[in-house]
Structure 1
Amino acid sequence: MQIHTQSGPVRIVNEPAYSFGSHDNVRTYPLEVRLSDGTLTSVHAVELNGLGVVVVGARGGCSAVHEHSAVAIKDKLYLAVGDHVVCLSLDFPHRLVWATQVDTATCFGIFWEGKRAALISHGELEIVRLTPQGDVIWSASGADVFSEGFSLLSDCIEVVDFNRTTYRLDYTTGEAIV
């Protein structure tokens, strides 16, 4: 996945074989962020202007890199990895700004709704609205896993669970719109 940012091109890559603290990795990153103790199920790395800057590992369900794995807003990169969303500074020195666990299983993607300045996490079990500072505004769950569709509409968030039940969530409150 590649994103064009004000800091330059950012590329997000899967690093499933990366070993934190080891000198035997194929690629190295000056900043390693391990969000969980024990076994990490998802490891994603960030390259900026062709140079590796950070690798992030988390637990939860395994997440792969795809078109909704990250969003860039000004000098920040918001990255979905495992059961977390993290905010990374794209300005030098690169650093972890915050990390928030957004789902008890896995985060499928992170989305930006600019009109409302809303970061929306599409999780397996929960849809979460975050502030750009990483605070949870609300969290909503359904009867089954949210695996069959996700859309940011003009008036609501629409998500479909495994049973094909459609939920429409209010951007402000996270409550179901009937």
Structure 2
Amino acid sequence: MIFHHPQYEIEVINDENYVLNSKDNLNHYQHILHDPADVYQPSAKHGIRVKENGVETSSVIICASGGATGIFENSYLIKNGVIFICCTDHVYALQIPSLDLIWKNNLDWATCFCIYEFGDDLIVHGELVISRVTTDGIIKWQFSGRDIFVTPNNKTVPFKIVGNEIILTDWQDYQYRLNAEGQQLG
């Protein structure tokens, strides 16, 4: 996906064929974000490139193990010169244009699917946990339900924000309504 940010073109891709420590990768990056203590093969590999006037100024690949994630419309968010991106069970915040890591935070026990603006904060839709965090990565609240926040059919949307409310549906089709403070409503 390509996003235009004032003077930059930002490309975010799922680089599933990238292999750590290989010289034969199709795509090369200036920086690699990978925890050396992670002994498992990465289940998600997300590449980010920043270009200015058509020239690449920075690039990074995030390699992490955990619940597999992909790149789609709401798996990343650009706000105030920072790209926030879900990768496995973490959210990463990277400075634009350098793509230097500002913070990363584990926000789910399994997988972080999507990230949304919510007032001055962020809401992260995880498989098991819904989190409200500041743009500095500080957790304001987290909410878990009876089951995963995924539905087995396409008839029910598992996550949506309506005004100041967050409406959730879990695998068992149980619905939750949360206020902006993460408290369950009626």
Please, what TM-score do these two structures have when normalized by structure 2? 0.88
**Higher alpha-carbon deviation: 3-12 or 126-135:** 3-12
Task: Kindly indicate whether the alpha-carbon contact (under 8 Å) linking 2:176 and 2:184 is maintained by their aligned counterparts in 1.
Answer: yes
Q: 1:3 deviation in Å?
A: 2.3
What corresponds to 1:104 in structure 2?
A: 109
- Does 1:177 pair with 2:185? yes
Tell me, which stretches of 5 or more residues in structure 1 are unaligned? none
What corresponds to 2:10 in structure 1?
A: 10
| Structure number, greater radius of gyration | 2
Task: Kindly indicate whether the alpha-carbon contact (under 8 Å) linking 1:40 and 1:58 is maintained by their aligned counterparts in 2.
Answer: yes
State the secondary structure of the residue aligned to 1:48: strand
Residues 2 and 167 (structure 1), Cα distance of their counterparts in 2 relative to 1, 3 Å cut: farther
Residue deviations 1:128-171 (CA, integer Å, cap 9, x gap): 11110011111100001101321111021111111111111122
Residue deviations 1:21-42 (CA, integer Å, cap 9, x gap): 3322111110110146022111
State the secondary structure of the residue aligned to 2:24: coil
Task: Kindly indicate whether the alpha-carbon contact (under 8 Å) linking 2:117 and 2:123 is maintained by their aligned counterparts in 1.
Answer: yes
Amino acid aligned to 1:90? I
Amino acid aligned to 1:62? A
Aligned mate of 2:121, from 113, 118, 123? 118
What corresponds to 1:128 in structure 2?
A: 131
What corresponds to 2:75 in structure 1?
A: 69
CA distance in 2, matches of 1:121, 1:11: 21
Identity over aligned residues, as a percent?
29
RMSD: 1.5
CA distance in 2, matches of 1:2, 1:158: 29
CA distance in 1, matches of 2:73, 2:49: 16
- Does 1:156 pair with 2:165? yes
What corresponds to 1:81 in structure 2?
A: 87
Task: Kindly indicate whether the alpha-carbon contact (under 8 Å) linking 1:7 and 1:90 is maintained by their aligned counterparts in 2.
Answer: no
Q: 1:9 deviation in Å?
A: 2.1
Equivalent pairs, count: 174
